[in-house]
Structure 1
Amino acid sequence: MSPQPRPSRFLGAGIGILSVAAAVAVGHLVAAFTGPGSSPFLAVGDTVIRFSPQFLTEFAKTTFGTADKPVLLGGMAVVILAAAVVAGLAGRRRVGRGVTVVVALGLLGLATVVTAPTFRALDLVAPLVSLVVGPAVFLGLHRLARRSSDVEPHGLSRRAALLGGMAAVAVVAVASGVGGLPAGSGLAESRARMTDRLARARLAERAPAIPAGADFAELGTPPFLTSNADFYRIDVALRVPELRAEDWSLRIHGMVDREVTLTVDDLLARPLVERTVTMTCVSNPIGGDLVSTATFTGIDLRDLLREVGVRPGAEQIFATSVDGWTAGTPTDVVMEPARGAMLALGMNGEALPPEHGYPVRMLVPGLYGFVSATKWLVDLELTTFDARRAYWLERGWAQRAPIKTQSRIDFPRGFQTVPPGRVRCAGIAWSQPVGVGGVEVRMDGGPWRPATLTTEVSGRTWRMWTVDFDLAPGSHTVQVRATDANGAVQTEQRTDPIPDGASGQPATIFTVG
């Protein structure tokens, strides 16, 4: 009996790729109905993020910025593609070897789903479907490949059957992948209803009016209020959670006198406050752009915690997002009467955008976001720092992380050439929550000169500055430093952003000519 013909290397690799693609895509499609977190593909990515060492996380953020998530997903796709090719080539000689590789990939997806912090029993469905689909497609295509190798007169029709089968699998994989993309799940309608409710609500506290000339946008600074579309976004979510306000609830428990579970209706029934706040990311480098300002609408968090009763010894508010991300906020900071900590539902006159935490996020002015600004908030536990360690604290970042006094030069830009004569420099400065008391600028290492500041809106927000210099043609270096409202000057000593925020005075080299 002659040995059974083997598929070509090209055909074998194609079978492996299609089998794995079908498994991943169908699992992703099923996850659209059982819960996005159960997608094996996304679960693997979440696991990589969850267990990545601090140096690797910082490398990704520093190298790729806000594109770190697409880069991660692309890298995962390349690795999976390589594994699929290995499965296909291994199956040319012995089909069982290829099936083993495909099953191993499926078990990896299953394991990452089961070990996720937000795992539910229903989440088993998607990875189990993937675990069945992958080997089934692999075996089915190999069966067609063996039949297509028979001699004429049936060879042509059987080869056509193989090609048709592979094409069908490809179509199913693509359709499943597209079908697994976020469909909104009524999120747009939910946000529209929330925006309407916030517009009709009576505010117990209004944000200070933004005075005319609050920025120097015509000189190159950002506008005083950052649009929602331009507001910086830094988080570890591979897929923005889709949580309707109607389905949301918040549990407050732990070291409290009275455990409560609140709905959006409960929050809207409380006195609503409106506060304009500048937020900045701890990863913002010296002179960086990970800083934005918006007017948020929500409830006062201190008042809420006073009602539930914070017990002595509760050092931190351990906040958890719907996707399992955690942050630990110092309780004493939140309980400061003038701090202005809040649970926000609205941003710049509309419901929170999904990527900024809809339906509810936490916000504490004066603290970097990784310890204070949990998005898609669903749980607050009053506890100690020893009892619970938050996501970034486990990676060596700071425990308290107050925002440092910082400034930035927006004009001239680095290595820009400007006309000779009088050069008007402009930028921003921030020092939440005390506010900016002054800004000084110097040119080419000369004496510091006070800059003109915009009117202060509040200590929680940035201020813009400008100053003029008469400069000769050639290369020049402008440097800036800010002073907070208490008289503390921005340090010249440079430190990296991690673990508790960058420090140092920004400088820009430009040319007059």
Structure 2
Amino acid sequence: MSIHRTARSVLRRRRVGLLAGVLAAAAGEVTACASERGRSPASGLARGLVDAAPAVLIDAGVAVLGRADKPGLAVLATGASALAAAAGGHLAEHRPVLGAAVAGAPHALGGFLVLRGGDASARGSAAAAAVGVLLSATAVVALPLRPRPVLTAAAGAGATAAPATADTAATSTATSCTAALTAAASTAATAVVATAAVLIASRGARRRASAAVHAGVQLPVPARALPPVPVEARQGPPGLAPLLARPGEMVVIDVTVPAPRIDLDTWRLDVAGDVRRPLSPALPDLLALPLEERDLLMVCVHNPVGGSRMGCARWIGIGVADLLELAGISGDERQWLVAEAVDGYTNVLPLHDARAHGFLALGMAGQPLPREHGHPARLLISGRHGQDGNLKWLRRLTITSTPPPSYWGSRGWIEGTYPVHPASRIDTPATHTRLHPGETAVHGYAWAPPIGVDRVQLQVDTGPWIDTTVGIDLGPDAWLPFHATWHATPGRHRLRVRCRTVDGQWQQHLTTTPYPHGVQGLHIITVHVGTSPAGPADLLSVAASLVPTGQRLGAAARTRMLWAVHSASAWRHGNRS
């Protein structure tokens, strides 16, 4: 029985360590959210994972997780804290100092990474790291000192030893099973409570930060405003992405978790390098310049064919060419523009591209730029993917003839070879949707910034390519809505869409991965036309209605796994897969 008791004791210490690690991560997150500009150790670990992981692994991870990549990073960071605390609990019985050090190590490392980044409050971030270290270390060190600590009881401890008889052995087995179930339930409950606390604290912090932005920034009327978009053009059918996204509707993509909270009193945008008049304007100085509106499309380099890691919005700001003119650049088009964010992210762009298509955004959809979209200023380059041309939380622009590697260039990506290729997608109907026979509307978007699209065609099965009707044209830097009417006949059908640029270039049919030259390929969906199978019971109809959903989920999972495999293969072979 002593061996069994020892084994159960080890398991209890590990379970308590897991609970302590989860709670410590949650406590660090809540502490960071309570401060003005603090960041949690978990956020530092998440960013550290992105910085340290090979680019091929990131490509594959994004392909599998899609828009859940940030929650995935948060889970990994929290899991690391929990596993370290479990290991610390195991070591603490005989080596308490080592156990405490192991349990607190992820929080200390995460805090160090946050402070090294320099994009957060040192006091708030240090406090969050200290809370995580103290909570995890204290919990695991206290395990061997008390026979029934509170956390041990919560994890299912406290079984009383009994004489080693057949009856008591069975009772002991049942008790162990009950204890295991109780431990699993308590662990799950603790994780749920910790997650809820983090979500509440994070939501409150985001609300306070958003309120501070709106209270402290007043956008002037743009000197060059665009005409308003007609209401009927904005109102699309269910399932169609917004023509012009508002805050909260645009996908958020970056390598920092969460978004930095920048102190506007100290923030400046430095414009330096090979310029005659270096600039360092604050946000009010930028807002005092003649501003303009632009409708610009953003596309993530990891956006798959037909994917949603993209969006179009109406931005308010100043052209990069106008800003650089104030700084007095030499005009040498062979130079480069190095853009740097407060979190250390950098982009390197040919100066002629930045001047021709660059935009410094200060507002979005008539509102101050949201924090998650780069407040107080972000860089947008029409025709370039996010990782190659769009940068949030901008703090420095440098003109140089000898540029350093960009953030992704130092990770193996080829600098400046990821233009946004002509592409199109079908938003509605969704793939594997069950439709009724008859007239069916097909809606979607096509884009080819900075050239623009003049023609969109739809193909059903192996039939001819048919011209669609294009909607409002917001300009070459935005996307172009289209719609078509199709007479759906019973059966399974495949729909494809393609577009042509204004200079006559048709969209490529061959599907390629992000590396090494950007995503290309035709968006293809499958739909099922016909009524659900008839049956005497409603259950049959319900089951039939769930079939398309299951097919859609299965197809999505299969596509993501294939995309991950192809992306890894492209990195291995260094050419298009």
Is TM > 0.5 for Structure 1 vs Structure 2? yes
Match of 1:396 among 412, 418, 424: 412
Indicate the residue corresponding to 2:67 in structure 1: 66
Q: Which residues of 2 match residues 7-406 of structure 1 at below 5 A?
A: 8-9=9-10, 12-13=13-14, 16-17=17-18, 31=32, 33=35, 35-37=37-39, 39-102=40-103, 104-105=105-106, 108-109=109-110, 112-113=113-114, 115-116=116-117, 127=129, 135=137, 138-139=140-141, 142-145=144-147, 181=202, 183=205, 187-193=209-215, 197-198=218-219, 201-211=220-230, 213-214=232-233, 217-218=236-237, 221-311=240-330, 312=332, 315-336=335-356, 339=357, 341-384=358-401, 387-400=403-416, 401-406=418-423
Tell me if the contact between 1:327 and 1:371 (Cα under 8 Å) persists in the aligned partners: yes
Distance 1:268 1:143, change over 3 A: same
Secondary structure (helix, strand or coil) at the match of 1:256 reads coil
Deviation at 1:244, TM superposition (A): 4.7
Verify the 8 A CA contact 1:492 1:504 in the aligned structure 2. yes
Unaligned runs of 5+ in 1: 149-155, 157-169
8 Å contact 2:455–2:501 — kept in the other structure?
yes
Distance 2:299 2:70 in 1: 20
Aligned to 1:418: 435
Q: Cα offset for 1:23?
A: 6.0
Q: Partner amino acid for 2:262? A: L
What do you get for the CA RMSD once the two structures are aligned? 3.5
Change (3 A) 1:466 1:110: closer
On the 8 A contact 2:210/2:371 being kept in 1, the answer is no
Cα drift, residue 435 of structure 1: 1.3
- Shift in alpha-carbon separation, 1:22–1:407, aligned structure 2, 3 A: closer
How far does the alpha carbon of each residue in 1:41-98 deviate from its partner, in whole angstroms, 9 at most, with x for none? 3222211111111121122211112211212221232232222122212222343442
Moved more, 56-65 or 92-101: 92-101
1:434-493 Cα deviation digits (max 9, x unpaired) = 211111222222222221111322111111222233343222222211011111111112
For 1:210 and 1:139, how far apart are their aligned partners in 2? Answer: 63
Pairwise CA distance, 1:309: 2.3
How many percent of aligned residue pairs carry the same amino acid?
29
Q: Which residue of 2 aligns with 1:481?
A: 498
TM-score (norm 1): 0.82
Using the TM superposition, name which of 258-267 and 207-216 deviates more. Answer: 207-216
- TM-aligned CA distance change 1:120 to 1:10, over 3 Å: same
Distance of aligned partners of 1:12 and 1:278 in 2 relative to their CA distance in 1, 3 Å threshold: closer
Change (3 A) 1:439 1:28: closer
Contact between 2:509 and 2:522, CA under 8 Å: does it hold in 1? Answer: yes
Which residue in 2 is equivalent to 1:160?
none
Contact 1:9 1:92 in 2 (8 A): no
Matched, 1:459 2:476: yes
| Contact 2:104/2:132 (<8 A) preserved | no
Deviation, 1:215, is 6.2
Cα distance in 1 for partners of 2:108, 2:249 equals: 40
Contact 2:92–2:143 (8 Å) recurs in 1: no
Q: 1:469 to 1:216 in 2, by over 3 A?
A: farther
Name the TM-score, length of structure 2 as normaliser: 0.73
Aligned length: 479
Residues 133 and 492 (structure 1 numbering): CA distance in 2 closer, same or farther, change over 3 Å?
closer
The answer (yes or no) to whether the contact 1:418–1:512 under 8 Å persists in 2 is: yes
Q: Name the SS of the counterpart of 2:343 in structure 1.
A: coil
Preserved contact between residue 38 and residue 122 of structure 2 (Cα < 8 Å): no
Which structure carries more helix by proportion?
Answer: 2
Change (3 A) 1:136 1:335: same
Q: 2: distance between equivalents of 1:10 and 1:130?
A: 23
